[in-house]
Amino acid sequence: MDRNRGRVNLDRMLARKPLLPAERDAAPAVVCVTGGAGYIGSRIVARLMAGGHTVHATRRAAGDDEAAIAALNELPGARKQLRWFDADLMQQGSFDAAVAGCRFVIHTAGVVSLNAPKRVAYSRVIEPTVKGIENVLSAVNKSPGVEKVVLTSSLVAVSGDLHDRGPGHVYCEGDWNLGFCELEEPYVTAKVLAEWQAWAIAGQQQRWRLVAVCPGNVYGPPMAISPNSGPVPSMVKQMDGSFYPFVAPLGLTTVDLDDVAAAHVLAALLPEATGRYLLVERGCLMSDIAAMLRKMYPAHWVPHIVLPFWAAVPLLALMGIRSFRWMHSLWNKQGAVVDCSRAKQELGLELIPLEQTLQEMMDQLLALGLLRRMPASPASLR
């Protein structure tokens, strides 16, 4: 275990997104973070410990998150401030021990699996996500000290493509994705149903309050060598020639990983934080991101030919993508307007620009060895 490396990782994280006054000044608390070894959850754990809080973090029993757990255990104060609990989204009572004695619960655990085959979509994606909500909130109801629950929802719970309400619509916390079934994407269905279920359960009692954080597509530098964490696999493929020379013009709504982590912590700590908070730094196309990456890293094989949807279907199929209807709804969709003023004003967030996010994410992937350094530019072949 390398404590010096832990200090370096923490300093790097806080240099990107220093603790806000509300994080620095809050009284120490015991906080449960489900999915504590995940892409978003691990960053929340690190911020909470930096603020002096004790964290009960849950992990999967599968053992595929050892790198992230090791990185968190190396952080300053981890021996006293961090405890790990095995938990299973599908097992009733599985979260009781982790939640016991906590003041706040931040529920990030869930199944992030796009394009699951229809025959297993319910059992693999939808059921664990919704059951997980029920089991975590059951544990909360058993623990009398819990005051607030913060849920990691998603912008897909607001809208499937951010164009379904017509031109000029400004999406806000009051919008809900009512057409999720038409998209035939289990992940979208799971996210919508999970947040609905969370609000339904929260409404049956008055002791604790629920806050939902709804980020768009989350990008940012991972802390550890976790090749399957969050967007890391797809971004590596954008850079290493796996998709070269073709890029899909999918409509995205991007936000930085550290902004998402800070939003969760602030939503828990600030007494006035309520309801839903949308998090989007900007809307763009995946082809726009590819153009930024080509400029930043000219030696890498970043794709540059934008395909029409009809030509991309065979490639999408080869990549294992089955959600053609959802993909088609996002194709060349840009210009969506998302109102994030509540998160900026009530939580005090200033969002990290996408250019910085991409640069620092790719630099970290190179430093971790997850992305190979390229000695020469393929520009002459483009």
34: three-class secondary structure by DSSP: strand
SS3 (DSSP) at 369:
coil
Cβ proximity of 80 and 7 under 8 Å: no
Pick from 263, 349, 220, 272: which is nearest to 44 by CA? 263
Q: Which CATH number fits domain 3-221+253-283+334-352: 3.40.50.720, 3.30.450.20, 3.30.365.10, 3.40.50.12140?
A: 3.40.50.720
Cross-strand pairs, 378: none
pTM of the entire structure? 0.95
The predicted-structure confidence for 205-224, as pLDDT tens digits, reads as follows 999 999 999 999 999 999 88
**Half-sphere exposure of 335 toward its Cβ, with a 13 Å CA cutoff?**
9
pLDDT for residue 244 is more than 70: yes
pLDDT at 319: 62
The C-alpha atoms of residue 248 and residue 308 are separated, in whole angstroms, by: 8
| 3-class DSSP assignment, residue 186 | helix
Query: Do the Cβ atoms of 110 and 152 come closer than 8 Å?
Result: yes
The domains of the chain are located at 3-221+253-283+334-352
Report DSSP letters for 303-365, one per residue.
--EEPPHHHHHHHHHHTT---HHHHHHHBT----EE--HHHHHHS---PPPHHHHHHHHHHHH
The per-residue pLDDT for 381 is 46
Please determine, for residue 59, whether its predicted confidence score (pLDDT) is greater than 70. Answer: yes
Non-local CB neighbours of 225 within 8 Å, separated by 6+ positions: 67, 368, 369, 370
Q: pLDDT tens for residues 94-128? A: 999 999 999 999 999 988 776 677 778 888 899 99
- Say how many residues make up the chain: 382
